[in-house]
Amino acid sequence: MRLARLGDPGAEHPVVLHGDRVLDLAGVTNEIDGAFLESGGLDRVRDALPDLPAVEGAGGLRTGAPIARPGSVICVGMNYAAHAAESGALPPPHPVIFHKTPNTVVGPSDPVVIPPGSTKTDWEVELGVVIGRRASYLAAPSEAMAHVAGFVLCNDLSERDHQLATSGGQWSKGKSAPGFCPTGPWLVTPDEVDHVNLRLRSWVNGEPRQDSTSADMVFSVEHLIWDLSQYLVLEPGDLVLTGTPEGVALSGRFPYLKPGDVVELEIDGLGTQRQELRAYS
Ligand code: ZN
């Protein structure tokens, strides 16, 4: 299933996509959040299909993030060997994590404001994992998928000076500017995508940047969820970003983003994003 949230920021309505029809979930839930996922909400949607009313004028509505604001957004760094290399690092022996503030989660095509004074705003296409069931001290990676509600496309936007030069040694300062986590368009349930082999791509102004596959991850989705659960509690509705492949501006091969640039992202089966960059005012 593919779920989405349509409408103005803060007033999105949950929908489910069924073939080429957009169906209203108002009779099932008023939100796609941790409580909905934890209480078997996805099963209730499945049971209600296809007898749900269509959303009138869905094509004219803004697409929001497909999940409400998560409790946590946890990101994994250096999870593709070629990206670690272009960043001047070796692949880490254990997953490296940092946080984005949950209020960075916005719609997939909302404009992105470059932070004031920034000269190093960068893109990162990433496979996002939405937690559906509380995960704490999992015994093995094989238990992880039972705690996953679905997958989303994310852009882990990054300000590299804030991440590296003035970070104080931790990356979160460079990852949490307003709107720095475009998410969606859809929350896709695991039965619909082969998450171990998904093509991830990005473009800037129509020119290709990243083109890789989730098969190249250093640590698999299952390993990451198991590993994280040894150190923190993942709660329903939380979002885990699983790292970006090579082809970002940090490599020195491409210019950083400037006002007027357009970033596009795609992951097989998870939809596309398009963001126009704007100056802060
Ligand atoms: Zn990232």
Residue 187 lies in a domain: yes
Q: Verify that 192 and 250 share a domain, yes or no.
A: yes
Among 60, 90, 109, give the residue marking a domain's end.
Answer: 60
Q: What's the gap in Å between 93 CA and the centre of ligand 1?
A: 17
Neighbours of 95 (CB within 10 A): 20
Q: Verify that 204 and 92 share a domain, yes or no.
A: yes
Q: What's the gap in Å between 125 CA and the centre of ligand 1?
A: 8
Mean per-residue pLDDT for 23-34? 96
Residue 66 lies in a domain: no
Mean per-residue pLDDT for 206-212? 98
Among 60, 90, 108, give the residue marking a domain's end.
Answer: 60
Q: Per the structure, how many domains does the chain have?
A: 2
Mean of per-residue pLDDT scores for the chain: 96
Q: What's the gap in Å between 25 CA and the centre of ligand 1?
A: 32
The answer to whether the CB of 130 falls within 8 A of the CB of 42 is no
d(C-alpha 124, C-alpha 32), whole Å: 25
pLDDT at 30: 95
pLDDT at 274: 98
87-126: pLDDT as tens digits: 888 889 999 999 999 999 999 999 999 999 999 999 999 9
Q: What's the gap in Å between 159 CA and the centre of ligand 1?
A: 11
Q: What's the gap in Å between 134 CA and the centre of ligand 1?
A: 23
The one-letter amino acid code at 53 reads P
Q: Verify that 258 and 134 share a domain, yes or no.
A: yes
Residue 56 lies in a domain: yes
Q: What's the gap in Å between 9 CA and the centre of ligand 1?
A: 24
Q: What's the gap in Å between 143 CA and the centre of ligand 1?
A: 24
- The β-bridge relationship of strands 199-204 and 262-267 is antiparallel
Q: What's the gap in Å between 70 CA and the centre of ligand 1?
A: 17
Reading the block at residue 91, the tokens are: 């692949």
Residues whose CB is less than 8 angstroms from the CB of residue 8 and which lie 6 or more positions away in sequence, other chains included: 62
Q: Verify that 116 and 250 share a domain, yes or no.
A: yes
Q: What's the gap in Å between 156 CA and the centre of ligand 1?
A: 5
The H or E element containing residue 204 is strand 199-204
d(C-alpha 150, C-alpha 281), whole Å: 36
215-228: pLDDT as tens digits: 999 999 999 999 99
Q: Verify that 7 and 127 share a domain, yes or no.
A: no
DSSP code at position 128: E
d(C-alpha 110, C-alpha 217), whole Å: 28
Residue 67 lies in a domain: no
Q: Verify that 237 and 143 share a domain, yes or no.
A: yes
Q: Residue 70 burial by CB count (10 A; 0-12/13-18/19+): exposed, middle or buried?
A: buried
Domain that holds residue 7: 2-60
Reading the block at residue 23, the tokens are: 């169906």
52-89: pLDDT as tens digits: 999 999 999 999 999 999 999 999 999 998 888 888 88
For the sheet with 125-131, list strands across it. Answer: 21-24, 13-18, 2-6, 187-188, 148-155, 125-131, 239-241, 73-77, 96-100
DSSP code at position 244: -
The answer to whether the CB of 147 falls within 8 A of the CB of 133 is yes
Residue 123 lies in a domain: yes
CATH number reported for the structural domain that contains residue 215 in this entry: 3.90.850.10
In the three-class reduction of DSSP (H, G, I as helix; E, B as strand; rest coil), residue 45 is classed as: helix
Taken as a whole, the chain contains a residue count of 281
Q: Verify that 26 and 148 share a domain, yes or no.
A: no
Neighbours of 141 (CB within 10 A): 17
Mean per-residue pLDDT for 4-24? 96
d(C-alpha 155, C-alpha 273), whole Å: 8
Q: What's the gap in Å between 97 CA and the centre of ligand 1?
A: 9
134-184: pLDDT as tens digits: 999 999 999 999 999 999 999 999 999 999 898 888 899 999 999 999 999
Residue 27 lies in a domain: yes
pLDDT at 48: 95
The answer to whether the CB of 153 falls within 8 A of the CB of 271 is yes
Q: Verify that 80 and 171 share a domain, yes or no.
A: yes
The answer to whether the CB of 218 falls within 8 A of the CB of 92 is yes
Residue 98 lies in a domain: yes
Instruction: Give pTM, 2 decimals.
Output: 0.97
Residue 68 lies in a domain: no
